[in-house]
Amino acid sequence: MRTLLSAATGPPTILLTTALVAVLCFWLLVAAGLTSAGSFDADVNLRAWGMDGVPVSVAVSTLTAVAWALSVGGVFLWEACAPASPATGVLCMVWPVAALPVAWRLTCLFVRPLHRLFPDEPDSPPDRGRARDHVDHAT
């Protein structure tokens, strides 16, 4: 238990732990009806990040949870299984940073099927070339 607590509160994972606490507080506010899940969607387009079709809060919450789980899990395994050495200390510092791109890619895969649950979210725009061809043939 001490190793898990150390992994969750040690640097640099403490940043992800803090972000996860903020996400949990946000979803508690949503559950209490004090805010809505789509309250951050005003001008944000997640298409460039591969997470379109879901509210920003869902995408960012998923990214935060996956990054935190990968970070804490990796650091926990390094600390529990590897012998204490300077190399292990360096790996425990580098692992959370290296886990971020993996978490982003996994989040893209996780939110893709969720877009069906949010029909009011804009899907990817239609192919403009196809629309233009259709207009050209109509004239």
Q: What was the pLDDT predicted at 120?
A: 59
DSSP state of 47: G
Phi/psi for 78 (5° steps) reads -60, -45
SS3 97: helix
Among 42-46, 64-68, 70-74, 118-122, name the one with the lowest average pLDDT.
118-122
Taking only the tens place, the pLDDT of each residue in 85-138 is: 777 777 777 888 888 899 989 988 888 877 777 765 555 444 444 444 444 455
Sort 30 into a burial class: Cβ within 10 Å, 0-12 / 13-18 / 19+.
Answer: middle
User: 60, exposed or middle or buried, with CB in 10 Å at 0-12, 13-18, 19+?
Assistant: buried
> Tens digit of pLDDT for each residue in 24-48?
999 999 999 998 877 776 667 777 7
Predicted local confidence at residue 130, as pLDDT: 45
